[in-house]
Amino acid sequence: MSKAAVFPSEATVKARRARYPRGQRVELVKMEDPYAMIIAGEQGLVDHVDDTGTVFVNWESESTLGAVHGVDEIRKVSMYKHNRPVNGMDYKQGRIKPRT
């Protein structure tokens, strides 16, 4: 049984936005969604963090599922170790730009 959703404080959301800016490479540690088609270890680039603290990611599998605050777990990955395109996007100096 998954945890009940508890909305984070405004300060928590602000901290998550600072920790996971657009273009930050992340790796999935765990996801509680039994129907998710992504697995632990998959990487992607952060698109945005919404007002509930959910971090939306463009995953390598082309999924755009968000990591829900307090339920799912992601971790930051060094931008310089893994400089490869994700889901049709490239990254240069920490910014996402559409491929041409």
Mean pLDDT by 10 residues, the chain (100 residues): 72 97 96 91 97 96 94 87 53 46
- Domain presence at residue 97: no
What does residue 30 show for φ and ψ, rounded to 5 degrees? -155, 150
- Domain presence at residue 74: yes
Tell me the pTM: 0.75
The share of the chain scoring above pLDDT 70, in percent, equals 73
The structure tokens listed for 39 are: 């697995």
Whether the CA torsion 50, 55, 58, 63 is positive or negative: it is: negative
How many independent structural domains does the chain possess?
1
| One-letter identity of residue 66 | G
- Domain presence at residue 77: yes
We report the CATH number of the domain holding residue 74 as 2.30.30.40
| One-letter identity of residue 95 | R
> What are 54-78's pLDDT values in tens digits?
999 999 999 999 999 999 999 999 8
Q: Residue 85 sits in which domain range?
A: 10-90
